[in-house]
Amino acid sequence: MRFIETVSVITGAGSGIGEATAIRLAKEGSKVILVGRTEKKLNNVANKIDLNHPNAAEVFAADVTLEKDVFTLAEYIEKNHGSLHVVINSAGGSATSKIRDITVEEWDQIFALNLRSVFLVSKILGNLMTKSLDNEKYKKDRAIINVASLSGYKAGAQIPHYSASKAAVINFTRALANEFAAFGIRVNSVSPGFVETPLIEEGMKNQRFIESLKRNTALRRAGRPEEIANVISFMASPEASYMTGSDVLVDGGWLVT
């Protein structure tokens, strides 16, 4: 129960790693605010959480690539909870294309999903996190965790915009950690490898893809969202109190094969 009496925001909470992380944080005592664009998906996750942890989950539909939506989210949190302790930037997306074929609009869309969202949420909710630091009622460990990717280390085939944006997330995390350390807010990132989420759902139906994944991953399988959530929950917890500006690679041994 590492997150008793804390408030956590999880973006991209409607599925995959975001969903698994929200479930994990709620299980450990946090009030979780589920953020995403599709309210139906968020409600499904909230219902799962409420089965075992009544009233632990709240739903807030928002597009975190839009500044006005993130400001509205911050106002909601301040009005209803007064403070914020944990932010998980899990929202993101990808598309396949060769560099020569990518349009400017496609490039900007992927960077908005993966990088601008992290910037806006970290900036605006980060300001909210700093506002109540002097209030003894809210004195708890505070952390921001950004979900990057293995592709930020090794560019994937035909996902140059995704790879570039995730590499930027890793470096932005370091810059953010340096600036927010003055407020006692820790900032780290996690870089998952291939994980069974909607992002690789189609690939997991292809036997050639599965065999290639096994051949190139030391542990010979894809990861599960819960395994990434385990790492994120540690990084967000007081147990990681001397950890900031780090990226944790959770790739099943892809880079060592």
**Residues with active-site annotation:** 162
Q: Which runs of consecutive H residues, i.e. helices, occur in 82-116?
A: 104-111
Q: How far apart are CA 216 and CA 201, in angstroms?
A: 18
**Per-residue tokens: 164:** 């570039």
Query: Hey, what amino acid is at 208?
Result: R
Q: Please choose, from the candidates 34, 29, 36, the residue with its C-alpha nearest in 3D space to the C-alpha of residue 58.
A: 34
Closest C-alpha among 90, 115, 113, 111 to residue 102: 111
Q: Judging by DSSP bridges, how do beta strands 142-147 and 31-36 pair with one another?
A: unpaired
Q: For the beta carbon of residue 224, count every other beta carbon within 10 angstroms.
A: 14
Half-sphere exposure of 1 (CA within 13 A, CB side): 4
Q: Quick one: the chain helix, strand, coil %, rounded to 5?
A: 50, 15, 35
Residue entry with tokens 């399988």: 221
Beta strand ranges found along the chain (DSSP E): 7-11, 31-36, 57-61, 86-89, 142-147, 185-192, 247-250
Structure tokens given for 151: 């592709």
> Side chain identity at 149, as an amino acid letter?
S
What is the spatial distance between Cα 65 and Cα 70, in angstroms, rounded to a whole number?
A: 8
